[in-house]
Amino acid sequence: MSLHKCNGRVPTKEELPPCYTGENWEDVTLQEFLNCSSNLAFNRQTRMLADLELVGCYNRSAMSRVPREEILLESAKRNLASMAYFALVEYQLESQYLFERTFGMKFRQQFVQMSKEETRAAEVVPSSKDLAHIQELNKLDSKLYSFAKELFFERLKYFKERDKEGISQV
């Protein structure tokens, strides 16, 4: 069981109702998973990076959905941009390069980039209807990812240009 706290308190069952009965998500169908309105898997990265206090924590009645989503996304973007470093899993070599340049360290071994076909995610093929539903439920994370990717490549370009100029570190 996970414990969710925001602003020093745990959300009520009204604010964060459970999505399933039992100990865990075992035996929950994809439809049950997708149809749970309080499922914290949706837009998880945005929520994890955002300051939830800005939107009343888990109290979704504190403000309407659209402004809540806009505030969460902008907060997540701000917090991501303020981080010295972050990685994108599908860009392992570039992520390693950024880490090494950002912190002035060198890894002994090069990161390994797996192809999409080598991952467990390749084993799951949702229907086009389910995929559209998943994309809608995670639209904030999609927007955050687009922002992160743009920022990632800006930082990569910055260090590549410094390398060309012979400047080794920040």
Give domain status of residue 19, yes or no: no
Q: What phi, psi does 38 have (nearest 5°)?
A: -105, 20
Give domain status of residue 2, yes or no: no
- Per-residue pLDDT, averaged over 2-31, amounts to 83
Facing residues of 6 across strands? Answer: 9
So what's the pLDDT on residue 125? Answer: 84
Please state, for a pLDDT cut of 70, what percent of the chain lies above it: 94
pTM: 0.86
Interval 134-150: pLDDT, tens: 999 999 999 999 999 99
Give domain status of residue 84, yes or no: yes
Residue 15, amino acid: E
| Residue scoring higher pLDDT (158 or 122) | 158
Interval 106-125: pLDDT, tens: 999 988 887 777 777 667 78
Give domain status of residue 170, yes or no: no
So what's the pLDDT on residue 122? Answer: 65
Do the beta carbons of residue 11 and residue 4 sit within 8 Å? Answer: yes
Inform me whether the pLDDT recorded for 16 exceeds 50. Answer: yes
Domain that holds residue 63: 30-165
Give domain status of residue 15, yes or no: no
The region that residue 165 occupies, defined by phi over 0 for left and psi between -120 and 50 for alpha, beta otherwise, is alpha
Structure tokens at 22: 């039992």
**Quick one: which H or E segment has residue 29?**
none
Inform me whether the pLDDT recorded for 129 exceeds 70. Answer: yes
| Residue scoring higher pLDDT (46 or 168) | 46
Chain position carrying tokens 């086009």: 128
Give domain status of residue 78, yes or no: yes
So what's the pLDDT on residue 169? Answer: 58
How large is the C-alpha radius of gyration of the chain? 19
| Residue scoring higher pLDDT (40 or 19) | 40
Axis crossing angle, helix 128-137 with helix 139-164, rounded to the nearest 10: 70
Give domain status of residue 43, yes or no: yes
Angle in degrees, CA 74, 88, 83, rounded to 5: 50
Question: Based on the structure, what is the number of domains in the chain?
Answer: 1
Give domain status of residue 25, yes or no: no
